[in-house]
Amino acid sequence: NAGVMQNPRHLVRRRGQEARLRCSPMKGHSHVYWYRQLPEEGLKFMVYLQKENIIDESGMPKERFSAEFPKEGPSILRIQQVVRGDSAAYFCASSPQGVGYGYTFGSGTRLTVV
């Protein structure tokens, strides 16, 4: 039973390029969450999705960031026109439906903008 799979593990982009981060949740999990972690800081919530629906995007920057979780395939976090301040670790977590379960996190994608 594979865990939460994120790819790529490391991503280097030049300023102005697009970054696309992928997350495949655990089998049977229908809820996906994206978090960002800057160096020496805690995790910051970005967005919560269910299949084909964005449930809570209160942590997403208003511009350049978008997320989707299509009916088929992984969840995608897209960052357009990246800037140096986007350099961070991006973690995806998944959970089953219901109350009282812990999240399962992926290993993260380390984005470096040069």
Partner 1 sequence: DAKTTQPPSMDCAEGRAANLPCNHSTISGNEYVYWYRQIHSQGPQYIIHGLKNNETNEMASLIITEDRKSSTLILPHATLRDTAVYYCIVNAGNNRKLIWGLGTSLAVNP
**Applying CB under 8 A, which of residues 58, 71, 72, 85 lies at the interface with partner 1?**
58
> CB of residue 46 vs partner 1: minimum separation in angstroms?
9
> CB of residue 85 vs partner 1: minimum separation in angstroms?
19
Query: CA-to-CA distance for 25 and 29, rounded, in angstroms?
Result: 6
If you ran DSSP here, which 8-state letter would residue 70 be given?
-
Binding site for partner 1 (CB under 8 A): 4, 6, 31, 33, 35, 37, 41-45, 48, 55-56, 58-59, 89, 91, 93, 95-108
